[in-house]
Amino acid sequence: MSEPIAITHTAVVTGDREGSVWDDTTVVVDAQGLIAAVGPTTQIEVPIGTRIIDGSGRFLMPGLI
């Protein structure tokens, strides 16, 4: 990965036993492909120069679910 990305306004499936979903979440992935931040879209500051992907109406879930 060569540039950081932020997926905004998405629903994140947590993968816990209850099958929780965090609505309106932003996930920031750094240039090395590591998750740098996860939280409510209103509380996550997206770094300058980050490519933003609108995840409205979509879901993200950990790859090991």
- Residues recorded for the chain: 65
Q: Give the rounded percent of residues in the chain with a pLDDT score beyond 90.
A: 78
Q: For residues 10-27, b (16+ Cβ closer than 10 Å) or e, as one string?
A: bbbeeeeeeeeeeeebbb
The per-residue pLDDT for range 17-63, each reduced to its tens digit, is 777 899 999 999 999 999 999 999 999 999 999 999 999 999 998 76
Percent of the chain with pLDDT over 70: 94
